[in-house]
């Protein structure tokens, strides 16, 4: 049996995408995504709970997506979970990130559900091809930076 590590998230960007370049020359786009969920409490009232996720998106497709990935933009992210581990001052730390393989911009800020969003076919999908080799994870900044 093989393991499965696949995640799909739809939410809004909490800030505009940040483009950096790794020492290998590979473009890296960092995204911060807020995902909302409505839950009903014991009294029957609906409450909104928000979870925040950091996403790393590699490659030329990622760098081409940056102009579309602005604060408040709704996006659909497909990828996998990646755990970063590090030590500082003798203490161990870890953080879970999303390593995005596809990012699809959806509605822009101000485009509500009642407005007519563009059809899915007209929305660009920034689909990063699988790399020929795994990224050099050791050259990616630690989450604490």
pLDDT tens-digit map of 74-100: 999 999 999 999 999 999 999 999 999
- Cα 72 to Cα 11: distance, rounded to the nearest angstrom: 9
Q: Copy the structure tokens of residue 84.
A: 């970063």
Q: What b/e readout covers 64-99, taking b as 16+ CB neighbours within 10 angstroms?
A: ebbebbeeebbbbbbbeebebeeeeeeeeeeeebbb
Phi, psi dihedrals of residue 113, rounded to the nearest 5°: -65, -25
pTM (predicted TM-score): 0.71
| pLDDT at 139 (0 to 100) | 55
Is residue 57 within 8 A of residue 65, CB to CB? The reply is: yes
pLDDT digits (tens, 9 = 90+) for 99-145: 999 999 987 766 665 444 444 445 555 555 554 445 555 555 544 44
CA-nearest of 32, 56, 142 to 93 is 142
Average pLDDT, the chain: 82
């Amino acid at each position: 049996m093989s393991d499965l590590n696949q995640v799909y998230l739809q939410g809004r960007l909490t800030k505009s995408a940040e483009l950096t370049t790794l020492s290998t020359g590979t473009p890296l786009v960092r995204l911060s995504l807020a995902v909302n969920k409505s839950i009903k409490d014991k009294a029957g009232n609906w409450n909104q709970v928000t979870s925040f996720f950091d996403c790393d998106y590699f490659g030329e497709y990622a760098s081409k997506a940056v102009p579309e990935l602005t604060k408040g933009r709704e996006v659909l992210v497909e990828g996998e979970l990646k755990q970063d581990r590090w030590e500082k001052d003798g203490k161990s730390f870890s953080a879970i990130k999303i390593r995005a393989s596809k990012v699809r911009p959806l509605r822009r800020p101000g485009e509500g559900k009642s407005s007519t969003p563009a059809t899915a076919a007209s929305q660009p999908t920034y689909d990063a091809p699988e790399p020929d080799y795994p990224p050099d994870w050791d050259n990616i900044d630690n989450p604490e930076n």
